[in-house]
Amino acid sequence: MLKPFSIFCLGIATILSPPLVCGQQISSPSISPLPTHGTMDSRIGRLEFDGAYPTDDTVSKLYDEMDFQRATQAYMWAIPLVSFAKWQQQHETVFGQEDGDLVQMVSSQDKLGMLTPNDSTTYLLGFWNLERTGPMVIDYPKGPTAGGVLDMWQRPITDMGLSGPDKGAGGKYLILPPGQKAPAETEDYLIFESPTNNIFPGFRILTTDPKEAEVLKNSYQAYPYAQRDKPRKTRMIPANGKTWTGWPANGLEYWELLSKMLNQEPVHERDRMMVAMLKPLGFEKGKKFEPDARQQKILLQAAVIGEAMARAQSFAKRQSEAKLWPGTQWKNAVLLEANQETEHYTALDERTAWFYEAVTLTAGMTSTTPGLGQVYLGIQKDKDGKWLQGGNNYMLRVPANAPAKQFWAMTLYDTETRSFIVTKQQIAGLDSRKELIKNADGSVDLYFGPKAPEGKETNWIPTAPGRGWFAYFRLYAPTEPYFDRSWKLPDIVQVQ
């Protein structure tokens, strides 16, 4: 009779190949590409294991790489929040803006710190803190304006003006702090709750009549609801060409601003996992941001790679829906809805691309209704697929009958700063409201380069040698020929 061990051994032998010999030591099956003993090469260097355990040096290397990868992704995730945080800081320190105030930006020099501003319209912009003020009232003027209020993730709380619920007729808006209910007796208000404590209100005046523009500006009022019986006069602070920057330095400042915002703002459900990933890097809500030497090194490296990735996503968009017209270099600059959501996910890559090169996104900027809002057509390469460079001369022919109920505008930006190109002429853009030379068929030839073409100076935008540039072609109140693609912009071509 066989002993129990022998029966067990024979049973195993029937299902293993090759046959198992009784008394032979059984080897553990391999279940991982990682070695049990010794080293292996990987994309992050050599990894070493002892009895399948990572050695101390390998553990350190793996944690450093894990934290670096998380920080790189966090850099891109945080771009809209940190961009606004820097801009808010500049409004308060450079312009002395307080809650309820707006800063008025008129000239190219005024707007030089802003990412991809329009050179054609006046901006009136501010940052307020609802935790300090409580609910804020905005008495919005009647007339041709494009405005709105955004949260600190650059998501619209509400549009105002032509694309807002007032439809250009003006009205009283009441903006509530997160989680706060509207006060009693506010039935005459358009009421909206902000997801963040800090908010960004602003508007652009679209009229070309200086007197009408002044009336619109002076009719705008903002004040805490608690002071509605005796509100202070809203200050419109002129920028007066002061030097400022709306983008943080590529270093620890980026992460310091992120920590500041994470402490000031509620963490929303969609962001909880990312905030958890930041904890090993020194970020913890309610605690001071004091990264140690290891964390600082990783964060500095991640800021460099994170920005490089963001730049690639902005200027070399790989989404198929970015293409506007087959065979051309023109791309749709805005690939996300204003709320930054899709049916199945938050538009992370699309959000990174837009908010690295631009600021703000409202319903009017993503409207698909003919005659309403704006569209943003971007270009970075010439007809031959070469990056646009400031030392070369180029030409763009804008076909006649551009599909814009209001006007079109072509604006150039420095690739590195994403703001206006700095030249002595201080000309950043041209638009259809200006006196431009037209061709016999109604088309308009625009010229870009370091030197104006003789006799066509009015149609020229200067560029800076040694600096790359890109452009937006904006259609204000785009009409059906844009949406059905029956009207088409040709490529920019290099000329002598």
Q: Domains in the chain and their CATH numbers?
A: 1-31 (no CATH), 80-238 (2.60.40.1610), 315-495 (2.60.120.600)
- For the cut 70, the answer to whether the pLDDT of residue 231 exceeds it is yes
Strand partners, 238: 104
Rounded CA Rg of the chain: 29
Taking residues 339-360, what's their average pLDDT? 96
Confidence of residue 279 (pLDDT cuts 50, 70, 90): very high
Taking residues 449-461, what's their average pLDDT? 97
**Token output for 133:** 């003020």
Taking residues 160-167, what's their average pLDDT? 92
Q: Is 368 helix (H, G, I), strand (E, B) or coil?
A: coil
Confidence of residue 207 (pLDDT cuts 50, 70, 90): confident
User: Which 3-state string (H, E, C) describes 25-57?
Assistant: CCCCCCCCCCCCEEEEEECCEEEEEECCEECHH
pLDDT digits (tens, 9 = 90+) for 22-44: 455 556 566 789 999 999 999 99
- For the cut 80, the answer to whether the pLDDT of residue 16 exceeds it is no
- For the cut 60, the answer to whether the pLDDT of residue 478 exceeds it is yes
What's the pLDDT at 119? 87
What's the pLDDT at 11? 42
End-to-end CA gap in the chain: 101
DSSP annotation of 262 reads: H
What's the pLDDT at 206? 84
* CA contacts within 13 A on the Cβ side of 186: 20
DSSP annotation of 381 reads: B
Taking residues 115-136, what's their average pLDDT? 94
Contacts of 441 (CB under 8 A, 6+ apart): 400
Q: Which residue has the higher pLDDT, 205 or 466?
A: 466
DSSP annotation of 442 reads: S
Of 89-98, 204-213, 431-440, which gets the smallest average pLDDT?
204-213
pLDDT digits (tens, 9 = 90+) for 361-412: 988 888 899 998 899 999 999 999 999 999 999 999 999 999 999 999 999 9
* 64 vs 347: CA distance, rounded Å: 28
- For the cut 70, the answer to whether the pLDDT of residue 3 exceeds it is no
pLDDT digits (tens, 9 = 90+) for 284-333: 999 999 999 999 999 999 999 999 999 999 999 999 999 999 999 999 99
Taking residues 65-76, what's their average pLDDT? 98
Of 20-24, 352-356, 420-424, which gets the smallest average pLDDT?
20-24
What's the pLDDT at 13? 39
Alpha carbon 57 to its chain's center: 39
Confidence of residue 110 (pLDDT cuts 50, 70, 90): very high
What's the pLDDT at 121? 83
Confidence of residue 80 (pLDDT cuts 50, 70, 90): very high
* 339 vs 351: CA distance, rounded Å: 10
Per the prediction, the chain carries an average pLDDT of 93
Confidence of residue 429 (pLDDT cuts 50, 70, 90): very high
- For the cut 90, the answer to whether the pLDDT of residue 95 exceeds it is yes
Query: Cβ–Cβ contacts within 10 Å for residue 122, how many?
Result: 19
What's the pLDDT at 323? 94
- Model confidence, pTM: 0.91
What's the pLDDT at 10? 40
126 touches 103 (CB < 8 A) = yes
